[in-house]
């Protein structure tokens, strides 16, 4: 019997010790989907809201099904000749009856793949949701992946932090369940500044009211809006601008239940530090927002307090004291680093990756790559830089010093400042500005939205870094597989492609990799070439078969590949693609046995049919040299109508060998001209 769909309210709150924001936020995008998937698998699908604070995970809905939804179940069993022997059910049949929960008298039969088989069709039992919730919640909590988990007490189960309480109300009634050693109670906890004691809850409405009245803003979006609104007010009052770091904002929202944004100031003398030192120290250690005035870093900061205390001055003073100590340490590191200067030779004591030596070894390999790239790009460098010999010196110096800041005290404290501190130290130590900038930009691009290196010198330094990572790690077998890519080699390959295309670098990928291979353990360089070229397919918005068609011609200049792809895509947009491919693939098939590397002479005295004469004349007229691939393709594609007539009227495999060879040479010449852009037989739609 089918139960009509009835809904009620569900309130689920998992109370925990303080959740660590960063691992929690990493899993956050998956949490709602995971619960939805489990509900759907249990036939309790509904819409719901998910909220969180640092002490609770909450699911609320007023549309929760009271019973599972109806479902028709079908079971297919063994064929009759296997199910019965001497008119008695075999073990196979008995197993089927048990699986279906039926007796022999209720079994049915049906036809499948020409055989009569046992069959059962019945309506699934519609269990009450209350009987399923404990298992659903357990599965949900176990599905959450925060990286590291912890155990507490004598429990075998683990979670990101100890679970302190569980509240589960269905239709305002407590659902009796026990998970992680905790029995569900009709109670919740409010802000710690209000009370450490539990508050009774008897409905969804009373729960929401209890939190709202006792210092807990349950909705994370409301907490975010409160922070941003307060920051706007501070900006106006102090005549400053606040840098809203999106990641920091999400973190602050995740660690507060009742956020209050406050303005504090540190001593202006700390502004002697490079701005990233101050900003990073405030963000990483204290979760403060930086402030600006007249486009310069200001000696103010925004802290977000989770306290309900009215004494904001005491809160600000305490935070200023802590920040002062942090900045004094940073200033000490900064002065020490400047006094010591760059010491790249110390990189010999720092391991890069086992099997690839030290960071000094990496620096030397990158220097060798820079020399190779500089030689290949000499013409381009001469166009962009006035003094080529000085430019080559700058490139070598930048390569040599690129990793030196890893030995600084500042980068030891804040690893995210690598490259950035090298830039500031190079500036302070009066190195050429281009050296400093190349050190700063050596890791660019480092994400999908990342800016590119700002000039050719920086681009070459960035390329050398990424190419060494790729060549080095492939040479010791650290090749990405599936979704695993611990060394971010896909990102490195993307960066290589982006830099080459952005700066229009005339580099042949195969030649460069073959040249650089000598600096590494021997390995199949084709694996790396294929790996990089595969990234093109995910990065460029083209029909993948067009890319395969271009690559099939052995083109390995990334700039030329992109230009040919673009020309091919545009040339085919307004064509009858199916007819076109049918014609030109026929052309490709006819030339399978022709040696395209030869001269392929065409004797005009052997052009007999009017269609082949017309085709030959049109082909000669459409020959275009140079790199204007669009015009070349446009001309070649214009041959389609005459090619169709040629194939309809002219016998290519003529009895006379001279006529046959002449016609094959004509077809092969047209195909070969296409091959200067792409192999048309690889294209599909």
Closest CA to 202 of 217, 187, 189, 212: 187
Beta carbons of 464 and 369 less than 8 angstroms apart: yes
Q: Which helix (H) or strand (E) holds 10?
A: strand 7-16
Q: Are residues 648 and 576 in the same domain?
A: yes
Q: Which of 604, 605, 639, 608 is nearest to 621 (CA)?
A: 639
Cβ–Cβ under 8 Å, residues 517 and 507: no
Q: Answer yes or no: do 665 and 633 share one domain.
A: yes
What pairing do the DSSP bridges indicate for beta strands 173-174 and 163-170? antiparallel
CA atoms within 13 A on the CB side of 645: 11
How far from 460 is each of 81, 296, 554, CA to CA, in Å? 74, 31, 25
Q: Which pair of tokens denotes residue 31?
A: 């949490």
Q: How far is CA 190 from the centre of its chain?
A: 38
User: How much is the mean pLDDT over the chain?
Assistant: 92
Residue 520 has pLDDT above 50, yes or no: yes
Which stretch, 526-535, 571-580, 608-617, has highest mean pLDDT? 526-535
Tens digits of residue pLDDT in 264-284: 999 999 999 999 999 999 999
Q: Assess if residue 336 is contained within a domain.
A: no
Assess whether pLDDT exceeds 70 at residue 557: yes
With tokens 């399978």, the residue in question is: 592
Question: Considering 146, 178, 213, which residue would you say is the last residue of a domain?
Answer: 213
Please check whether residues 99 and 208 belong to one and the same domain: no
Q: Is the pLDDT of residue 39 over 60?
A: yes
Token pair, residue 669, equals 């010449």
Does a structural domain hold residue 335?
A: no
Does residue 149 lie within any of the structural domains?
yes
The structure's pTM equals 0.82
Task: Give dist(CA 487, CA 314) in Å, integer.
Answer: 46
176-226 residue pLDDT tens: 999 999 999 999 999 999 999 999 999 999 999 999 999 999 999 999 999
The more confident residue out of 569 and 385 is: 569
CATH code, 631: 1.10.730
Residues of the chain by 3-state class (helix, strand, coil), percent to 5: 55, 15, 30
First to last CA, the chain: 51
Bigger pLDDT: 26 or 122?
26
Do 15 and 165 contact (CB within 8 A), yes or no?
yes
Q: What mean pLDDT comes out for the span 244-260?
A: 96
Does any domain span residue 469? yes
145 and 205, same domain (yes or no): yes
Tell me what pLDDT residue 1 has: 46
Q: Over pLDDT 90: what percentage of the chain?
A: 73
Single out the residue in 213, 234, 261 at which a domain terminates: 213
If one counts the domains in the chain, the total is 5
Looking at residues 316-344, what average pLDDT do you find?
96
Contact by Cβ (8 Å): 443, 462: yes
HSE (CB half, 13 Å, CA atoms) of 653? Answer: 5
One-character DSSP codes across 426-459? HHHTT--HHHHHHHHHTT-S-STTPPPPSSHHHH
Residue with the two structure tokens 């690598």: 418
How do residues 636-685 score in pLDDT, each as one tens digit?
888 888 988 998 888 988 899 899 999 999 988 988 888 889 988 888 87
Select from 152, 187, 213 the last residue of a domain: 213
Average pLDDT for residues 95-102, to the nearest whole number?
90
Q: What is the pLDDT of residue 4?
A: 54
Does 77 share its domain with 63?
no
Compute the average pLDDT of residues 311-337: 95
What pLDDT is recorded for position 483? 84
For position 597, what pLDDT does the model report? 80
Residue 551 lies in a domain: no
pLDDT number for residue 33: 96
In a domain, 290, yes or no: yes
Does residue 627 sit in the same domain as residue 671?
yes
Average pLDDT over residues 96-105: 89
Order of strands across the sheet that contains 72-79: 72-79, 115-123, 108-112
Same domain, yes or no, for 63 and 76? no
- Give the domain extent around 575: 563-682
Among candidates 40, 26, 52, 267, which has minimal Cα distance to 140?
40
Beta strand pairing call for 178-179 and 56-65: unpaired
Residues contacting residue 354 through CB under 8 Å, at least 6 positions apart? none
At 12 the three-state DSSP class reads strand
Alpha helices by DSSP H, 101-174: 133-143
Q: Within this chain, do residues 507 and 647 fall inside the same structural domain, yes or no?
A: no
Cβ pair 482, 363 in contact under 8 A? no
pLDDT per residue as tens digits for the range 377-431: 999 998 887 789 999 999 999 999 999 999 999 999 999 999 999 999 999 999 9
Closest CA to 257 of 189, 160, 182: 189
Map tokens 């982006």 to a residue. Answer: 498
In tens, the pLDDT along 445-479 reads 998 889 999 999 999 999 999 999 999 999 999 99
Within its chain, how far is the Cα of 349 from the centroid?
A: 33
Q: 221-252 b/e with 16+ CB inside 10 Å = b? A: eebbebbeebbeebbeebebebeebeebbebb
Domain contains 103: yes
pLDDT at 313: 95
The reply to whether 203 and 233 lie within a common domain is: no
Same domain, yes or no: 503 and 381: yes
- Position 626 pLDDT exceeds 90: no
Asked whether residue 275 falls in the same domain as residue 243, the answer is: yes
User: Same domain, yes or no, for 189 and 292?
Assistant: no
Q: Does residue 552 lie within any of the structural domains?
A: no
Question: What pLDDT is recorded for position 3?
Answer: 55
């Amino acid at each position: 019997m089918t139960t009509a769909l009835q809904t009620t309210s569900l309130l689920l709150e998992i109370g925990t010790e303080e959740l660590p924001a960063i691992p929690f936020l990493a899993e956050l995008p998956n949490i709602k989907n995971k619960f939805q998937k489990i509900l759907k698998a249990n036939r309790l699908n509904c819409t719901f809201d998910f909220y969180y604070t640092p002490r609770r995970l909450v699911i609320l809905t007023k549309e929760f099904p009271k019973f599972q939804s109806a479902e028709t179940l079908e079971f297919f069993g063994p064929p009759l000749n296997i199910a019965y022997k001497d008119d008695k059910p075999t073990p196979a049949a008995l197993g089927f009856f048990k699986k279906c929960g039926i007796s022999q008298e209720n079994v049915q039969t049906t036809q499948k793949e020409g055989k009569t088989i046992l069959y059962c069709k019945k309506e699934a039992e519609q269990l009450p949701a209350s009987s399923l919730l404990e298992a659903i919640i357990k599965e949900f909590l176990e599905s959450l992946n925060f990286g590291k988990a912890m155990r507490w007490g004598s429990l075998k189960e683990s979670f990101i932090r100890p679970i302190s309480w569980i509240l589960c109300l269905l239709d305002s009634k407590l659902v009796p369940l026990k998970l992680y050693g905790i029995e569900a109670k009709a109670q919740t906890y409010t802000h710690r500044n209000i009370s450490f004691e539990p508050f009774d809850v008897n409905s969804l409405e009373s729960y929401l009211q209890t939190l709202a009245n006792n210092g807990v803003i349950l909705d994370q979006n409301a907490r975010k809006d409160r922070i941003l609104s307060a920051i706007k007010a501070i900006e106006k009052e102090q005549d400053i601008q606040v840098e809203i770091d999106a990641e920091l904002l999400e973190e602050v929202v995740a660690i507060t239940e009742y956020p209050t944004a406050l303005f504090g100031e540190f001593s202006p003398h700390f502004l002697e530090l490079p701005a990233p030192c101050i900003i990073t120290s405030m963000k990483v250690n204290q979760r403060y927002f930086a402030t600006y005035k007249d486009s310069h870093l200001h000696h103010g900061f925004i802290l977000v307090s989770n306290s309900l205390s009215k004494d904001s001055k005491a809160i600000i003073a305490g935070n200023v004291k802590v920040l002062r100590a942090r900045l004094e340490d940073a200033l000490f590191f900064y002065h020490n680093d400047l006094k010591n200067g760059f010491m790249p030779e110390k990189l010999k004591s720092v391991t890069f990756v086992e099997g690839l030596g030290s960071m000094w070894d990496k620096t030397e390999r990158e220097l060798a790559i820079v020399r190779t790239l500089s030689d290949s790009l000499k013409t381009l460098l001469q166009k962009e830089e006035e003094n080529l010999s000085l430019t080559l010196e700058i490139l070598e110096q930048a390569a040599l010093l690129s990793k030196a800041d890893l030995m600084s005290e500042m980068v030891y404290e804040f690893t995210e400042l690598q490259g950035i501190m090298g830039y500031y130290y190079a500036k302070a130590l009066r190195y050429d500005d281009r050296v400093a900038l190349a050190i700063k930009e050596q890791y660019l691009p480092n994400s999908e939205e990342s800016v590119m290196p700002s000039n050719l010198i920086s681009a070459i330094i960035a390329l050398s870094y990424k190419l060494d990572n790729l060549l080095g790690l492939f040479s010791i077998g650290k090749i990405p597989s599936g979704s695993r890519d611990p060394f971010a080699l896909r990102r490195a390959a993307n960066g290589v492609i982006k830099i080459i295309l952005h700066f229009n670098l005339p580099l042949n990928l195969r030649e460069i990799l073959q040249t650089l291979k000598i600096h590494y353990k021997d390995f199949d360089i084709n694996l790396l070439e294929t790996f990089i070229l595969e990234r093109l397919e995910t990065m460029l918005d083209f029909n993948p078969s067009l890319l395969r068609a271009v690559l099939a011609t052995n083109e390995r200049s990334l700039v030329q590949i992109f230009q040919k792809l673009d020309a091919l895509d545009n040339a085919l947009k307004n064509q009858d693609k199916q007819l076109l491919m049918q014609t030109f693939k026929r052309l490709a098939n006819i030339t399978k046995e022709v040696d395209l590397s030869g001269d392929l002479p065409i004797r005009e005295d052997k052009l007999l049919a009017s269609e082949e004469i017309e085709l030959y004349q049109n082909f000669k007229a459409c020959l275009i040299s140079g790199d204007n691939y669009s015009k070349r393709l446009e001309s070649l594609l214009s041959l389609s109508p005459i090619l169709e007539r040629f194939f309809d009227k002219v016998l290519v495999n003529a009895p006379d060998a001279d006529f046959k060879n002449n016609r094959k040479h004509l077809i092969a010449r047209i195909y070969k001209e296409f091959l200067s852009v792409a192999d048309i037989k690889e294209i599909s739609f």
